[in-house]
Amino acid sequence: MSVVTEAGTGGGEGRSPVTGRGGGVRQSWRDSLIVARRNLIRMTRIPEIVLFGLIQPVMFVVLFTYVFGGSLKVGGSTSAADYRNFLMAGIFAQTVTFATAGAGAGIAEDMHKGLIDRFRALPMARGAVLTGRTLADLVQTALTVIVLAAVALLLGWRVGTDGDTDAFRVAAGFGLLMLCGYAFTWIGALIGLSVRSPEAATNGGLIWLFPVTFISNAFVDPSNMTPWLRHIAEWNPFSAIVQACRVLWANPGQSVSDAWPMRHPVWASLLYSVAIIVIFRTLSVRKYRSATL
């Protein structure tokens, strides 16, 4: 609490507790960074949070690579190497979206302990509490993705296996992943504000993620699905980010599809992510205001 208290006393004179008068957008951004720093410090004091977040995606990579690697076809090939290169974009996307559960549980815990009410009493922008939390989760997600990429490289994952790519396109793929992960944390924020306990937030954050990630192109080619399920998978925002990464990294992708998100996956990923941020940030801030009145 020392960091947050400092935020409330330093430069807080003359500002409305509700709007942060006198600072506007810059003050709101400053408050958000202070809250983010508070959450990052808390993560370092509870290393299990980071450790378990690193273990899960690594376990998925190993299991899918060695259990399903020689059984599933990618472009007519059952090569484990081809499937591994096909799989990694899906694992990366799954990793950033699963951060939703952690974001929701963290906010629910703060609500349960009354910490949100203390934040509200401080002269800070209301939206800064949620923005700071999502930014801290984004940092943790980025760390997880870095470790996951290193493990994938050790297991034999490579970019440029199905065409040409370059450092800019590879970086753009990871940038899209981070944007998608940040968007999904706002869904977690709304869930965390809507339930009564961290346990309910964790369950609520995971129960919808499994169909979203598995009814997609992450682990299998949707052309092998029944027609109605294939259409759902191809228009799934999660599928768009997976396909965008495969295109940018020149990894094996799914069969040719007429669905617009699959033909223009990079643009689709951007549009989906921005839309999710705008919609769910607005809903989360409104929920936050009503939940703390």
Per-residue pLDDT tens over the stretch 182-238:
999 999 989 988 887 888 887 887 889 989 999 999 988 888 889 999 999 999 999
Q: In this predicted model, which residue has the larger pLDDT, 27 or 97?
A: 97
- Residue 82's pLDDT is what? 80
Q: In this predicted model, which residue has the larger pLDDT, 244 or 41?
A: 244
The overall average pLDDT reported for the chain is 82
- Residue 277's pLDDT is what? 95
Q: In this predicted model, which residue has the larger pLDDT, 53 or 180?
A: 180
Name residue 36's amino acid.
A
Name residue 4's amino acid.
V
Structure confidence at residue 149 as a pLDDT band (50, 70, 90): very high
- Residue 101's pLDDT is what? 81
- Residue 54's pLDDT is what? 76
- Residue 10's pLDDT is what? 40
Query: Is the pTM for the entire model greater than 0.85?
Result: no
What whole-number percentage of the chain has pLDDT above 70? 85
Tokens 């599809």 sit on residue = 257
> 267 pLDDT exceeds 60?
yes
Range in 36-40, 141-145, 223-227, 276-280 the model is least confident about: 36-40
Span 99-121, average pLDDT: 76
Span 162-169, average pLDDT: 89
Q: What angle do CA 141, 276, 49 make, to 5 degrees?
A: 25
